[in-house]
Copies of this chain bind each other. A is one copy, B any other.
């Protein structure tokens, strides 16, 4: 920086990058509001009315700092998960927790393992703390547990990231497969098990929580099925020693009081989550049927989105652009072999019909090989 104090070498050398370009950025570029926002896997069925009411109520106390220990919420989460409050850390979403966990385990040269094309915010933090990334290709559109385990051992990884159910594919492994994967992890490797979408998954997907195993950090959020993405709140479940280490470095006053009130109220309304999950199941089937009717496959999904396989990356990119042109925000995986897909969040019935109408109209126009994209 000419004329200014120098940043740390690490920060100076980082590329200017962001994990995601936001839908708002597209809106600013186009000068038009989006018609359908189906790219961020938000819950388009909204939060529990109890959460809404609790947040509105909590606004009365907004002049006060919230409890930095989040004691009430942690006690309730501990009860729900059968652990102690000392096994829980509350953060401003899983993104925040990823930053915290990476900071606790990664410094210059530390090796981190993830799938090639997995959630980019983990990578962002690994680079941000000077670590090295070892990326393992997806296998049959799922995280390759065997290869991830091999890489963790072979590359001497300190930290492994795994989303289950996975984003951006939607695919998942069973609890049994995960437990075998965890059993194989080296004793000095920590697994960040991102379970942001776990509420949408079958009951045999989440392994039992075992806080005696300091190698595993479970990550949960209120941003997905709980419908509180804008409130910024998630949590980690881990060994007492891990949570104590986080307490040495975390931003103690980082989580806002409204989010905590909303999260606590949402936990008291499991029926709402069941209702959301049922509606998402229904919507996923609609998208699958839409794809099938156009001769397209979809990836299996245990999440609130469906990845539609449109055959090749150029067609996926062309579709993405065409959809965006029509005010429809979706995303696509960034790395092969997943980049032949577009990823669509399950919306309510009306918005699904609208998406279907636009997709059916656009799809034939981009049904062209990549060469025509380049020449056109």
Q: Does A88 contact B (CB under 8 A)?
A: no
Whether B56 contacts A59 by the Cβ 8 Å rule is yes
Q: For A167, list chain B residues within 8 Å (CB).
A: none
Whether B5 contacts A105 by the Cβ 8 Å rule is yes
CA distance A45 to B40 in the complex (A): 38
Q: A168 to chain B: closest CB distance in Å? A: 16
Whether A69 contacts B1 by the Cβ 8 Å rule is no
Q: A350 to chain B: closest CB distance in Å? A: 16
Q: For A45, list chain B residues within 8 Å (CB).
A: 63
Q: Does A267 contact B (CB under 8 A)?
A: no
Whether B71 contacts A249 by the Cβ 8 Å rule is no
Closest to A55 in B: B59
Whether B244 contacts A188 by the Cβ 8 Å rule is no
Whether A24 contacts B67 by the Cβ 8 Å rule is yes
Whether A259 contacts B262 by the Cβ 8 Å rule is no
CA distance A101 to B61 in the complex (A): 29
Closest to A260 in B: B230
B-contact bits for A247-271, CB 8 A (1 contact / 0 none)? 1110111111111001000000000
Closest to A238 in B: B4
Whether A256 contacts B254 by the Cβ 8 Å rule is no
CA distance A156 to B62 in the complex (A): 41
Q: For A62, list chain B residues within 8 Å (CB).
A: 47, 51-52, 55, 227-231, 262
Whether B107 contacts A251 by the Cβ 8 Å rule is no
Looking at chain A's contact residues, the main secondary structure is loop
Whether B55 contacts A43 by the Cβ 8 Å rule is no
Whether B52 contacts A64 by the Cβ 8 Å rule is no
Q: For A71, list chain B residues within 8 Å (CB).
A: 24-25, 28
Q: A63 to chain B: closest CB distance in Å? A: 4
Interface size class of chain A, counting residues whose CB lies under 8 Å from the partner chain:
35 or more
Q: A134 to chain B: closest CB distance in Å? A: 16
Whether B65 contacts A7 by the Cβ 8 Å rule is no
Q: A174 to chain B: closest CB distance in Å? A: 25
Whether B188 contacts A18 by the Cβ 8 Å rule is no
| Residues 151-180 of A at the B interface (beta carbon under 8 Å) | 158-159
Whether A95 contacts B248 by the Cβ 8 Å rule is no
Whether B232 contacts A253 by the Cβ 8 Å rule is yes
| Residues 86-130 of A at the B interface (beta carbon under 8 Å) | 92-93, 95-96, 99, 103-107, 110, 128
Q: A14-B249, A230-B62, A256-B92 are in contact. Are A6 and B69 (CB under 8 A)?
A: no
Q: Does A46 contact B (CB under 8 A)?
A: yes
Whether A64 contacts B40 by the Cβ 8 Å rule is yes
Q: For A259, list chain B residues within 8 Å (CB).
A: 256
Q: For A215, list chain B residues within 8 Å (CB).
A: 4-5
Sample of 13 further A-B pairs with CB below 8 A, known A1-B214, A5-B190, A18-B68? A4-B214, A5-B188, A5-B214, A11-B248, A12-B245, A19-B252, A24-B71, A25-B71, A63-B227, A64-B229, A64-B230, A230-B257, A256-B259
